[in-house]
């Protein structure tokens, strides 16, 4: 499978390493502003420079690159794995629109563990809420991360919103001079050191607290999920696929 990798930052370099190790993948180029002369593949600053046709693009970069990617995949009927976080609502709508003609995987977290956490939340969040428990999300990441809250925190919020319906996200309480409302789900971000990614959902009730927590112990859990997604897309003609497709 011919792969173009979009982004050569912390994640891009890990993905490139795995792609080079595996025979089933042929990394034909890397798109990044940063020119790495040691990289064995062709380096491009954007996809308009790429003449070859890739079977799939794996994107771990920045939301600013979305239009470049969509133009290439529509022209070449190339499948795409979007693992980048921080897309706006309009950008997510563009991705959904493009999926009418292209096979697209999009997830703010590609780990198996987070998919399991979403399954647990679908089962328990509404029952906790209906029984008076307050729900809060806490995420922690390394000090190089540019977006907050994390894409995963947003994903976890959306899963619970989908079940409970009447929730409101609250990102900052500093300007609020009132008690917490029942329907609020607070989402807090901590940044420091080299934390790969922690997500904790707290259900706080009368005299008891239940916490569901996922801790990534390396970036490999995300890399494996992204490669699995690239493989899973190969027999798809078009459509928007998520972690549910994989696990």
Ligand X SMILES: NC(=O)C1=CN([C@@H]2O[C@H](COP(=O)(O)OP(=O)(O)OC[C@H]3O[C@@H](n4cnc5c(N)ncnc54)[C@H](OP(=O)(O)O)[C@@H]3O)[C@@H](O)[C@H]2O)C=CC1
Q: What are the binding residues for (S)-2,3,4,5-tetrahydrodipicolinate? A: 142, 151-152
Q: Which residues are CB-neighbours of 174 under 8 A, at least 6 positions away? A: none
Choose which of 16, 39, 83, 159 interacts with ligand X (CB under 6 A): 83
Report the distance separating Cα 44 and Cα 167, nearest Å: 43
For position 62 contacting ligand X by CB under 6 A, the verdict is yes
CB of residue 164 to ligand LZUJQKHR, shortest distance in Å: 21
Q: Are 135 and 188 in contact (CB under 8 A)?
A: no
How far, in Å, are 1, 6, 55, 187 from residue 23 at the CA level?
9, 20, 15, 41
Tell which positions 124-183 bind ligand LZUJQKHR, by CB under 6 A: 141, 145, 150-152
For position 108 contacting ligand LZUJQKHR by CB under 6 A, the verdict is yes
Comparing CA positions, the residue from 226, 19, 241, 245 lying closest to residue 110 is: 226
Choose which of 65, 109, 115, 167 interacts with ligand LZUJQKHR (CB under 6 A): 109
Q: Is 102 helix (H, G, I), strand (E, B) or coil?
A: coil
CB of residue 108 to ligand LZUJQKHR, shortest distance in Å: 5
Give residue for tokens 């062709």: 42
The binding site comprises 37-38, 83-85, 107-110, 142, 151-152
For position 15 contacting ligand X by CB under 6 A, the verdict is no
Burial of 196 (0-12, 13-18, 19+ CB in 10 A): middle
CB of residue 130 to ligand X, shortest distance in Å: 31
Q: Are 72 and 57 in contact (CB under 8 A)?
A: yes
Tell which positions 187-246 bind ligand LZUJQKHR, by CB under 6 A: 197
Choose which of 3, 5, 7, 16 interacts with ligand X (CB under 6 A): 7
CB of residue 90 to ligand LZUJQKHR, shortest distance in Å: 19
Comparing CA positions, the residue from 66, 52, 53, 62 lying closest to residue 97 is: 66
Report the distance separating Cα 151 and Cα 203, nearest Å: 20
**CB-wise, 51 or 143, nearer to ligand LZUJQKHR?**
143
Contacts to ligand LZUJQKHR by CB under 6 A: 85, 108-109, 141, 145, 150-152, 197
Contacts to ligand X by CB under 6 A: 7-12, 32-34, 60-62, 64-65, 83-86, 107-110, 144, 147, 151, 222
């Amino acid at each position: 499978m011919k792969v173009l990798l979009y982004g050569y930052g912390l994640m891009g370099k890990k993905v490139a390493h795995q792609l080079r190790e595996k025979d089933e993948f042929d990394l034909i180029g890397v798109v990044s502003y940063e020119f790495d002369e040691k990289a064995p593949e062709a380096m491009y600053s954007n996809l308009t420079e790429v003449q070859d046709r890739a079977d799939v693009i794996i994107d771990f970069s920045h939301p600013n690159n979305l239009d470049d990617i969509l133009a290439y995949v529509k022209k070449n009927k190339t499948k795409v794995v979007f693992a980048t976080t921080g897309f706006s609502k309009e950008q997510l709508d563009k991705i959904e629109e493009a999926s009418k003609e292209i096979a697209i995987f999009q997830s703010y977290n590609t780990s198996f563990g987070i998919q399991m956490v979403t399954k647990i939340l679908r089962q328990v969040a509404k029952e906790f809420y209906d029984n008076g428990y307050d729900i809060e999300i806490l995420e922690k990441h390394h000090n190089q991360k540019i977006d907050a809250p994390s894409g995963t925190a947003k994903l976890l919020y959306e899963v619970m919103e989908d079940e409970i319906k009447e929730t409101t996200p609250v990102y900052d309480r500093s300007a609020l001079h009132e008690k917490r409302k029942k329907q609020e789900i607070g989402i807090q971000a901590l940044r420091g050191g080299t934390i790969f990614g922690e997500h904790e959902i707290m259900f706080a009730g009368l005299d008891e607290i239940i916490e569901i927590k996922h801790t990534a112990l390396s970036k490999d859990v995300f890399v494996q999920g992204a490669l699995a997604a690239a493989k899973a897309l190969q027999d798809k003609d078009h459509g928007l696929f998520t972690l549910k497709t994989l696990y």
